[in-house]
Structure 1
Amino acid sequence: MEKPATTSAQATALAHLDDIQSSLSAWTRTIFDFGETAWREYQSAAWYVKLLKQEGFSVEEGSGGMPTAFCAHWSNGPGPTIGMYAEYDAVPGNCQDAATVRRPRPGLGEHAGGHTDPHSGLGVASLGGLLAAKAAMQHHGIGGTLRFTGEPAEKVRGSKPIHAAKGYYDGLAGMISFHPFYMLPLCNTARWDTHCGAAYAMIYRFICDEPENWVRAGDGAPIPQAHSAVRAPGANDALSMMYMASKALRDSMLPHQGGWSISEAILTAGQATADNLPAGLAEIQYMIRVPTLAMAEQVTAMLDRNAEAAAAMSGCRHERHWVSKSRPGLANHAMAEIAFEALSAVGPPRWDDVANAVAREIQVNAGGTATDEPFIAEMERLIAPQDAEAILRRDLPPSQANSTSDDYTDMSWHTPTARFYVARPALRAAGGHAWPSWVMNALGGIAATIDPMVICASRTIALAALRLLEDKAAREAAMDEFVKRTSGGIGGSSWIAPLCDYEPPIHFRWPEYVTTARGRDWWIPKNTAA
Structure 2
Amino acid sequence: MQEARQHALAWIDRQAARISADHQIVWNLCEPAWREYETSRWYAERLAAEGFAVERGTAGMPTAFRARWISPAGPGPILASYAEYDAVPGNAQDCVPFRKTRADLHETAPGFIDPHSALGIGSLYGVLAAKEAIARAGLRAELRLHGEPAENMCGGKPMHAAHGFYDDLDAVIGWRPAALRTLANTCVWDTHCGCYWSRVYTFTCDDPGSWGDVSGDGNAASHPHVRARTPGALDALCLMYTTTKYSKEAMLPHAGSWSVNEAILSNASTTANNQAPRFAQIQYSWRAPDIAMAERILSVLENNARHVAALTHTTVRGDWISRTRPGLPNHALAEIVYANMQAVGAPRWNDGVADFANACLASAGRDAPAEPFAREMSALADPRDAERALRATLPPWQTHYTSDDYVEYTWHAPTVKFLVGRARLADSNPSLEWINVALGGLPEAIDPTIVTAAKVIASTIVELAADPASLKRSREEFNHRTGGGIGGASWIAPLMDTGGPSPASFAWPDYARAGERKGWIVPVTAGACD
Q: Secondary structure at the match of 1:400?
A: coil
Aligned amino acid, residue 457 of structure 2: I
Deviates more, 1:31-40 or 1:410-419: 31-40
Quote the offset at 1:266 in angstroms: 0.9
Tell me the distance in 1 between the aligned counterparts of 2:158 and 2:529: 42
Tell me the distance in 1 between the aligned counterparts of 2:132 and 2:163: 30
Tell me the distance in 1 between the aligned counterparts of 2:267 and 2:424: 37
2:495 to 485, 499, 502: 499
Task: Tell me, yes or no, if structure 1 residue 55 matches structure 2 residue 55.
Answer: no
Aligned amino acid, residue 363 of structure 2: N
Tell me the distance in 1 between the aligned counterparts of 2:217 and 2:151: 47
Tell me the distance in 2 between the aligned counterparts of 1:27 and 1:41: 16
* 1:210-246, Cα deviation, whole Å (9 max, x unpaired): 1112234655899962635421122111111111111
Tell me the distance in 2 between the aligned counterparts of 1:44 and 1:54: 15
Deviates more, 1:214-223 or 1:334-343: 214-223
* 1:335-374, Cα deviation, whole Å (9 max, x unpaired): 1111111111111111111211211221112221223211
Tell me the distance in 2 between the aligned counterparts of 1:176 and 1:346: 16
Seen in structure 2, the aligned counterparts of structure 1 residues 220 and 167 have a Cα distance that, compared at 3 Å, is farther
Alignment match, 1:187? 184
Seen in structure 2, the aligned counterparts of structure 1 residues 219 and 243 have a Cα distance that, compared at 3 Å, is farther
Task: Tell me, yes or no, if structure 1 residue 90 matches structure 2 residue 87.
Answer: yes
Q: Secondary structure at the match of 1:124?
A: helix
> Contact (CA 8 Å) 2:158, 2:495: kept in 1 or not?
yes
Tell me the distance in 2 between the aligned counterparts of 1:220 and 1:94: 55
Alignment match, 1:69? 64
> Contact (CA 8 Å) 1:121, 1:454: kept in 2 or not?
yes
Seen in structure 2, the aligned counterparts of structure 1 residues 519 and 271 have a Cα distance that, compared at 3 Å, is farther
Aligned amino acid, residue 138 of structure 1: A
Aligned amino acid, residue 294 of structure 2: A
Quote the offset at 1:272 in angstroms: 7.3
Aligned amino acid, residue 413 of structure 1: W
Alignment match, 2:235? 237
Task: Tell me, yes or no, if structure 1 residue 282 matches structure 2 residue 280.
Answer: yes
Quote the offset at 1:424 in angstroms: 2.1
Seen in structure 2, the aligned counterparts of structure 1 residues 445 and 399 have a Cα distance that, compared at 3 Å, is same
Alignment match, 1:443? 439
Quote the offset at 1:270 in angstroms: 3.4
Q: Secondary structure at the match of 1:407?
A: coil
Tell me the distance in 2 between the aligned counterparts of 1:447 and 1:223: 67
Tell me the distance in 2 between the aligned counterparts of 1:17 and 1:255: 49
Q: Secondary structure at the match of 1:97?
A: coil
Alignment match, 2:20? 25
Task: Tell me, yes or no, if structure 1 residue 482 matches structure 2 residue 471.
Answer: no
1:463 to 441, 459, 463: 459
Q: What percentage of aligned pairs have identical amino acids?
A: 44
Aligned amino acid, residue 376 of structure 2: E
Seen in structure 2, the aligned counterparts of structure 1 residues 166 and 434 have a Cα distance that, compared at 3 Å, is closer
Tell me the distance in 1 between the aligned counterparts of 2:221 and 2:82: 53
- What is the 5 A alignment of 1:79-478? 79-216=76-213, 225=223, 227-270=225-268, 273-429=271-427, 435-478=431-474
Deviates more, 1:253-262 or 1:375-384: 253-262
> Contact (CA 8 Å) 1:258, 1:397: kept in 2 or not?
yes
Aligned amino acid, residue 132 of structure 1: A
Q: Secondary structure at the match of 2:271?
A: coil
Tell me the distance in 2 between the aligned counterparts of 1:34 and 1:529: 17
* 1:354-412, Cα deviation, whole Å (9 max, x unpaired): 21121122111222122321111111111111111112222222222211111111100
* 1:506-528, Cα deviation, whole Å (9 max, x unpaired): 21101111125994211124756
Task: Tell me, yes or no, if structure 1 residue 8 matches structure 2 residue 6.
Answer: no
Tell me the distance in 2 between the aligned counterparts of 1:519 and 1:491: 49
Q: Secondary structure at the match of 1:359?
A: helix
* 1:266-320, Cα deviation, whole Å (9 max, x unpaired): 1021367322222221111011111121222221111011011111111211110
Alignment match, 2:39? 44
Deviates more, 1:72-81 or 1:389-398: 389-398
Tell me the distance in 2 between the aligned counterparts of 1:117 and 1:529: 26
Alignment match, 1:3? none
Give the superposed CA RMSD. Answer: 2.0
Seen in structure 2, the aligned counterparts of structure 1 residues 468 and 396 have a Cα distance that, compared at 3 Å, is same
> Contact (CA 8 Å) 1:206, 1:316: kept in 2 or not?
yes
Gaps of 5+ in 1: 1-5
Aligned amino acid, residue 385 of structure 2: D
- TM-score normalised by L of structure 2: 0.95
Quote the offset at 1:256 in angstroms: 2.8
Gaps of 5+ in 2: none
Seen in structure 2, the aligned counterparts of structure 1 residues 292 and 278 have a Cα distance that, compared at 3 Å, is same
Tell me the distance in 1 between the aligned counterparts of 2:318 and 2:270: 25
> Contact (CA 8 Å) 2:181, 2:377: kept in 1 or not?
no
Seen in structure 2, the aligned counterparts of structure 1 residues 223 and 263 have a Cα distance that, compared at 3 Å, is farther
* 1:418-471, Cα deviation, whole Å (9 max, x unpaired): 0111112211229xx764221111111111111111111111111111111112
Aligned amino acid, residue 40 of structure 1: R
